[in-house]
Amino acid sequence: MPYTLQQLTEFTRDIFKAIGCNQKDAALAADVLLRSDLRGIDSHGIARLSGYVRLWEKGRINVMPNIKIVHETPTTATVDGDAGLGLVVAPFAMQVAIDKAEKYGSGWVSVRNSNHFGIAGYHALMAVEKDMIGFAMTNASPLVAPTYSSERLLGTNPMCYAFPAGDYPPVVVDMATSAAANGKLEIAQRLGKQVPEGWIQDKTGAITTDPHALKSGGSLLPLGSDAEHGSHKGFALSATVDILSAVLSGANYGPWVPPFVAFLEPPSDPVGLGIGHFVGAMRVDGFRPVNEFKADMDNWIKRFKTSQTINPLQKVIIPGEPELAAEIDRTKNGIPLVDAVVKDLNDLALKFKINPLR
Amino acid sequence: MPYTLQQLTEFTRDIFKAIGCNQKDAALAADVLLRSDLRGIDSHGIARLSGYVRLWEKGRINVMPNIKIVHETPTTATVDGDAGLGLVVAPFAMQVAIDKAEKYGSGWVSVRNSNHFGIAGYHALMAVEKDMIGFAMTNASPLVAPTYSSERLLGTNPMCYAFPAGDYPPVVVDMATSAAANGKLEIAQRLGKQVPEGWIQDKTGAITTDPHALKSGGSLLPLGSDAEHGSHKGFALSATVDILSAVLSGANYGPWVPPFVAFLEPPSDPVGLGIGHFVGAMRVDGFRPVNEFKADMDNWIKRFKTSQTINPLQKVIIPGEPELAAEIDRTKNGIPLVDAVVKDLNDLALKFKINPLR
């Protein structure tokens, strides 16, 4: 039996309040987190709630942060998240970018001293609502090896670009820069299945199909999988996310990014503050009238959607379509949770004396 | 025997002057084109000179363009290239972006009605010289099939991000969003070699290793190669380049992009003007002091360069390193050209009555 969005949102909000967030931050953090479940990205949603709580227990999340701009020009800024929830820090930063774009055409914000920000798409879509193009990226715990390396030096560092359209829904590119997301490995682990070659390597750097290799010192591979198929490009994209998010803001980068899991200690020799994000917004009408842009976006989408396909039953998928389909389905039919997640959440409920899920 | 940079630059400048470019534009176009040869990207350099001339002969390149801003805000602009050489239009657009960034922190320019702009790295590096982060992208002739499609709907649409560093050279990410560049296929064709699975498909969409498949209706594949290895991400990146470059500016997008080769006619139902680019610049000191950023860039580069590798003899390659190594080598030792290119250039010399190369 799936849960309703409202039920899970209230539950999540109550947990965030229980650890000390104010009403507004708790509601925002719950909204961001549940948007991930709604959009079908189960790995980044409520399943992570207990992870955030454990980070708070370790003193690594500040639930009453003083989030502020520490450096700026009319169209650029660095925001310090004061070790707050990324779920709260990133929307603050995106709002700064949008405000600057409203005045000057574009706005760009690099963020330091933050934590995991949920799905990048949430933040980029804030700009789309204002007829802007939205950008959102974040660095993350090191799990990916650069081409030729046997070390985990980069996160799955997602990039998101979101574009408003007219009659069609927005085009939302929201992708990890690794060949496969960690969530896909976890599914294979649960099912006891091998994974395809090109997703991971073992701790020596040898190719493997064992989904458990990551836990024994192996690495995810960059998009492209191997040098012959362009993995240096996936590495370069991941590096771009890391530099814009962390070198530019003064956050930790590369192997110094603090791990999301609380049982691993952050490196003892940090090179910056917390993890980093990079967000931006550009007004469409800074380039051409919005109605002209949207008409061409619709034509672009239509042409690609109706293109000839190898298998007539498998159409071309426009970036953002699967997530939107999930959002429509789950808004109507509810959000399914696996038993392990429900148990994890109800342990939290017990600990913080709030009503369990069932 | 390799040729000197000066020799090839003068030759190229003379050809551009011969077709009607003024002295300044001819010198700039030659500088951009030769920078590609210098950086080892032979496919985008002087080997294309006769291609530009053939486009001019077809009336598709305007050698006396009135390049102008047609729409702008303090930090955004759309530039119309008036069908000029992309080699001249893109530096104009980048200068607009840099000027805006100097005043407001960042500048972003979408370009329509242009032609092929050489290597993206040239343009992005203009920003790096000013202690800015440079962005450059362009759409291109359709050669790449989206995931699941058997149609060529996108170009190899490169993305470039360039970051200044301190003691180390800049980090320059300059990559086609396809699994393999077209230039690599051409090398395989010349050598009569098969290419790896995952670079191309034939006209039915079936996997093939025949490098000639592209010429008989096949397609290049997006970065990621197949759905299981994330080719939808390569498709999404290529779509991002197409939208920022062309839907945003009012250029042709997707399958409507006019082909670079003059023997193919542009689509008879254009959706915009010429091809599109997107360039941008952000001042580093719009985010943090330049010296702090550069110190962290150096630390980032050093950590990745010295990371443990699978094969001790194959170090991790920092984005931009191979191109810089080529630039240093070829500046000193000259630029080698294959015989077919020399013959092609000397046919031009004969036609325009300028001194042949040898």
CB A118 within 8 A of CB A154: no
User: What's at A67, amino acid-wise?
Assistant: I
Q: What ipTM did this prediction achieve? A: 0.98
Strand order of the β-sheet with A219-220 is A207-208, A200-201, A219-220
Q: What is the pLDDT of residues B288-335, one digit of tens each?
A: 999 999 999 999 999 999 999 999 999 999 999 999 999 999 999 999
Q: What is the pLDDT of residues A215-252, one digit of tens each?
A: 899 999 999 999 999 999 999 999 999 999 999 999 99
Q: What is the pLDDT of residues B270-300, one digit of tens each?
A: 999 999 999 999 999 999 999 999 999 999 9
Q: Quote the CA–CA distance of B238 and B333 in Å, as a whole number.
A: 36
Chain centroid, CA B54 distance in Å: 19
- Answer whether residue A186 shows pLDDT above 90: no
Q: What is the pLDDT of residues A80-94, one digit of tens each?
A: 999 999 999 999 999
Count chain A–chain B contacts defined by CB atoms under 8 A: 271
pLDDT at A181: 87
Q: What is the pLDDT of residues A296-334, one digit of tens each?
A: 999 999 999 999 999 999 999 999 999 999 999 999 999
Q: Using DSSP, state whether B324 is helix, strand or coil.
A: helix
User: Between 3.40.50.2300, 1.10.3720.10, 3.30.1370.60, 3.60.15.10, what CATH number should domain A65-174+223-319 receive?
Assistant: 3.30.1370.60
CATH number of A180-220: 3.30.60.50
Instruction: Closest CB to B308: pick one of A73, A151, A201.
Output: A151
- Answer whether residue A358 shows pLDDT above 90: no
Q: Which residues of A touch B197 (CB under 8 A)?
A: none
CB A131 within 8 A of CB A288: no
Domain A1-57+332-358 has what CATH class? Answer: mainly alpha
pLDDT at A259: 95
Q: Quote the CA–CA distance of A317 and A329 in Å, as a whole number.
A: 17
> Using the beta-carbon criterion (under 8 Å), do B307 and A151 form an inter-chain contact?
yes
Q: What is the pTM of this model?
A: 0.98
Q: Which residues of B touch A80 (CB under 8 A)?
A: none
Q: Using DSSP, state whether B7 is helix, strand or coil.
A: helix
Q: What is the pLDDT of residues B227-240, one digit of tens each?
A: 999 999 999 999 99
- Beta carbons within 8 Å of B27's beta carbon, 6+ residues apart: B13
Gap from A181 CA to chain B (nearest CA, Å) = 10
> Using the beta-carbon criterion (under 8 Å), do B229 and A179 form an inter-chain contact?
yes
Instruction: Closest CB to B76: pick one of A229, A283, A315.
Output: A283
Instruction: Closest CB to B316: pick one of A76, A149, A199.
Output: A149
Q: What is the pLDDT of residues B168-178, one digit of tens each?
A: 999 999 999 99
Q: What is the pLDDT of residues B346-358, one digit of tens each?
A: 999 999 999 999 8
Q: Quote the CA–CA distance of B79 and B102 in Å, as a whole number.
A: 18
> Using the beta-carbon criterion (under 8 Å), do A148 and B73 form an inter-chain contact?
no
Rg (CA), chain B: 20
Q: Quote the CA–CA distance of A10 and B225 in Å, as a whole number.
A: 42
Q: Using DSSP, state whether B64 is helix, strand or coil.
A: coil
- Ordered by start, the domain boundaries in chain A are 1-57+332-358, 65-174+223-319, 180-220
Residue by residue, what is the 3-state secondary structure of B266-295?
A: CCCCCCCCCEEEEEEEEEHHHCCCHHHHHH
CB A75 within 8 A of CB A108: yes
CB B194 within 8 A of CB B180: no
Per-residue confidence band for A271, with pLDDT thresholds at 50, 70 and 90: very high
Pick among A161, A233, A306 to test the B interface (most B CBs inside 10 A): A233
Per-residue confidence band for B182, with pLDDT thresholds at 50, 70 and 90: confident
Gap from A348 CA to chain B (nearest CA, Å) = 36
> Using the beta-carbon criterion (under 8 Å), do A106 and B271 form an inter-chain contact?
no
E strand residue ranges, chain A: 68-72, 76-80, 106-114, 132-138, 159-163, 171-175, 200-201, 207-208, 219-220, 275-283
For B89, other C-beta atoms within 10 Å of its C-beta total 28
pLDDT at A191: 87
> Using the beta-carbon criterion (under 8 Å), do A254 and B148 form an inter-chain contact?
no
